[in-house]
Amino acid sequence: MSWNKMLFHSLKSRTVLLYGLLFLVSYTIIFVIVYLHLRRAEQEETDWRLHRIFSAFEYRYFTGEELRNSLIVLPKFSRIPKEFFQHVAEEVAGFQPVLACRETRNRDRYIVFGFRRNEIWQVTYETEPQHFSKERILPEGHTAVLAKDFAQESFGEGARLVSLLMDKNNRILAASPSVEPDRERFRRFHYTHSSARLHYGDMENSRGRRIRLAWKSLPDGNMLVIGLNQHAADENLDRIVNAFWGVGAAVFALSILCAWILSCRMVRGIQRVGKAADRIAAGDYSCRVPLNNDGCEIDSLVVSFNAMTGNTETLMSELRTIADDIAHDLRTPLTRMIGRSEVTVSGNPTLEDALNTLGDNTEECRVMLVLINQMLEISKTESGAIVPERRELDLSALLEHSVELFRLPAEQKGQEIVLNLPERPVHFCGDSVKLQRLAGNLLDNAMKFTPPQGRITVALEQSAREIILRVSDTGCGIPAEEREKVFKRFYRADSSRHLPGNGLGLALVQAIAKAHGGSVGLESEPGRGSTFTVRFPV
């Protein structure tokens, strides 16, 4: 076997390759899911930090003061009571909120910053007791305060924090020191100018490192941009990816090795069956595959293979026996024919001698033709080549007709035939010609082995599930060791070798019975007779 065929066409290699492919696909899917989950978790964490820092700077820009610890920035305006928006609509028409806070000490007090046209307003609302106040804010001079905060405040993020304030023309008004190396990149970044919500995006600095940005337009037209350098997070994620693939490669190599070992063990039984099949193909029909606990499926295959091999060996043995029997049964009449012909030709035969020789040879040919036809009929019936022509018939009438045909020869031999039939007709769907042959062969077999003054009993019974035909005789009986052999072709017991026949009658009976879905059984007691039982399903 070539290496190419062994690697790419054997069952072992295909099993290993399929397992490896499934492993890679499964591992890749798991990796993608884990990677996306980690990336999303990291991004959500970063966006939450950006939102917190952005809100602090935004509050500083509006008020000129630091965000007090007693205030909590609300991420969504939906957490503000509906009554607030009703009061705002009445008091400050066209008010658009941009930043909302709630007191931690007094959870019923809300502070909301927003704009109306180009004006910035601070609206304070208390639910218990209900109180509403508004104040216009002038953020002039707050830019300088914000620039100072950009330079000093890092919110625990260190140098990775990027913060800047730009006007409508993307001109930088104030920025943290970390902006300077990439000042032009920040100016040219594509920002979405909207004060409705906070926007997020990614950009690369001059060193190729990713910066996560959050920005929003302020009511006065300026834009506040906050960013966090993600180099450390990206490196950490890359280390996780490399470790994941490193572990995956090691596990993949180990799993491929295990898959190869398991596949070798799995196909070991199949290989043993293949080697046995090669020996059988070479003519050794005695070869069997031993069971080796290779698994239920392989063991079942071995059992079935051994059973098939046993049947093949039996069939070949029977075929040799049949061939020998046919050769013997044909050799005898052929030898007689040749002898008669040679005697007639070598002498000075008269016309009468020649006619007698031709007549005898014709009779011998007729016997051989009957033998060959019986063999063909049995083979075709057993193989299903001849399908019985099933028609509804009365088995009682058919048996009665068959018995009448044999009654006169039986009386001439001093034998008695007793027929026991049901009172009602026994209807059956079958081939009348073949069933007539079946009954005739059973009667002929019984007459051969029944002595004078003996009795042959033919009985027919019907139940809800089957029809039973029994043919009994009071002959010599059949020994137990020969009962299974009498249905084989050309088999003749020692007690029947002096009687006429070729040993095909009972084989034909069994073939016809099986063709009709039935079976044939034998009960016999030496010295007292035999009973052949044919059962047909209803």
Mean pLDDT over residues 229-247, rounded? Answer: 91
Are the beta carbons of 264 and 16 closer than 8 angstroms?
Answer: no
pLDDT for residue 136: 85
Give the tokens for residue 88. Answer: 């705002």
Is residue 284 over pLDDT 50?
Answer: yes
pLDDT confidence tier of residue 285, bands split at 50, 70 and 90? confident
Q: Which residues contact 157 (CB under 8 A, 6 or more apart)?
A: 49, 53, 228
Arithmetic mean of pLDDT over the chain? 83
pLDDT for residue 162: 92
pLDDT confidence tier of residue 250, bands split at 50, 70 and 90? very high
Are the beta carbons of 235 and 228 closer than 8 angstroms?
Answer: no
3-state DSSP assignment of residue 299 = helix
For the CA atoms of 194, 200, 203, 205, what is the dihedral angle to 10 degrees? 90
pLDDT for residue 471: 93
Question: Cα separation of 96 and 118, whole Å?
Answer: 11
Mean pLDDT over residues 294-301, rounded? Answer: 78
Q: What is the pLDDT of residues 487-515, one digit of tens each?
A: 776 666 655 555 665 667 788 888 889 88
Give me the percent of the chain exceeding a pLDDT of 70. Answer: 91
Are the beta carbons of 317 and 306 closer than 8 angstroms?
Answer: no
To the nearest 10 degrees (0 to 180), the angle between helices 231-281 and 11-63 is: 170
In this structure, the number of other CB atoms found within 10 A of the CB of residue 276 comes to 19
Question: Cα separation of 126 and 95, whole Å?
Answer: 18
Of the candidates 449, 524, 444, 520, which has an alpha carbon nearest to the alpha carbon of residue 488?
520
Report long-range pairs for 291-295 (Cβ below 8 Å, ≥24 apart): 292/268, 294/265, 294/266, 294/268, 294/269, 295/266, 295/269
Is residue 56 over pLDDT 90?
Answer: no
If one compares 524 and 293, the residue with the highest pLDDT of the two is 524
Is residue 200 over pLDDT 70?
Answer: yes
Is residue 57 over pLDDT 80?
Answer: yes
Question: Cα separation of 261 and 90, whole Å?
Answer: 81
pLDDT for residue 132: 84
DSSP state of 450: P
Q: What is the pLDDT of residues 466-489, one digit of tens each?
A: 999 999 999 888 888 887 777 776
Domain 387-537: what homologous superfamily?
A: Histidine kinase-like ATPase, C-terminal domain (3.30.565.10)
Question: Cα separation of 223 and 351, whole Å?
Answer: 138
pTM: 0.54
CA angle 295, 296, 298 (to 5 degrees): 65
pLDDT confidence tier of residue 362, bands split at 50, 70 and 90? confident
In this structure, the number of other CB atoms found within 10 A of the CB of residue 218 comes to 19
| Phi and psi based region of residue 109 (left: phi greater than 0; alpha: psi -120 to 50; beta: remaining) | beta
In this structure, the number of other CB atoms found within 10 A of the CB of residue 311 comes to 10
pLDDT for residue 368: 78
Is residue 337 over pLDDT 50?
Answer: yes
pLDDT for residue 336: 80
pLDDT for residue 386: 65
Is residue 229 over pLDDT 90?
Answer: yes
3-state DSSP assignment of residue 111 = strand
List, in sequence order, every residue forming a beta bridge with 455; answer none if it has no partner: 416
Give me the percent of the chain exceeding a pLDDT of 90. Answer: 23
Point out the least confidently predicted range of 64-78, 106-120, 314-328, 354-368. Answer: 314-328
pLDDT for residue 494: 56
In this structure, the number of other CB atoms found within 10 A of the CB of residue 290 comes to 8
Is residue 397 over pLDDT 90?
Answer: yes
Question: Cα separation of 109 and 72, whole Å?
Answer: 11
Tell me the domain boundaries of the chain. Answer: 1-64+139-284, 65-137, 317-380, 387-537
Question: Cα separation of 465 and 109, whole Å?
Answer: 93
Mean pLDDT over residues 291-320, rounded? Answer: 79
Mean pLDDT over residues 259-272, rounded? Answer: 80
Are the beta carbons of 6 and 271 closer than 8 angstroms?
Answer: no
Question: Cα separation of 475 and 454, whole Å?
Answer: 7
pLDDT for residue 461: 92
pLDDT confidence tier of residue 1, bands split at 50, 70 and 90? very low
Are the beta carbons of 55 and 67 closer than 8 angstroms?
Answer: yes
3-state DSSP assignment of residue 119 = strand
In this structure, what are the phi and psi dihedrals at residue 38, rounded to the nearest 5 degrees? -65, -40
pLDDT confidence tier of residue 41, bands split at 50, 70 and 90? very high
Point out the least confidently predicted range of 144-158, 325-339, 503-517. Answer: 325-339
Mean pLDDT over residues 252-261, rounded? Answer: 87
**Termini Cα distance of the chain:** 56
Are the beta carbons of 514 and 449 closer than 8 angstroms?
Answer: no
pLDDT for residue 382: 62
Q: What is the largest CA-CA distance in the chain?
A: 155
Are the beta carbons of 535 and 519 closer than 8 angstroms?
Answer: yes
Is residue 347 over pLDDT 80?
Answer: no
Of the candidates 427, 429, 428, 431, which has an alpha carbon nearest to the alpha carbon of residue 387?
431
Question: Cα separation of 491 and 333, whole Å?
Answer: 19
**What single-letter amino acid sits at 183?**
R
Give the tokens for residue 478. Answer: 């059949």
Q: Which residues contact 66 (CB under 8 A, 6 or more apart)?
A: 56, 59, 60
Mean pLDDT over residues 153-173, rounded? Answer: 87
pLDDT confidence tier of residue 307, bands split at 50, 70 and 90? confident
> Cα 501 to the chain's mean position, in Å?
56
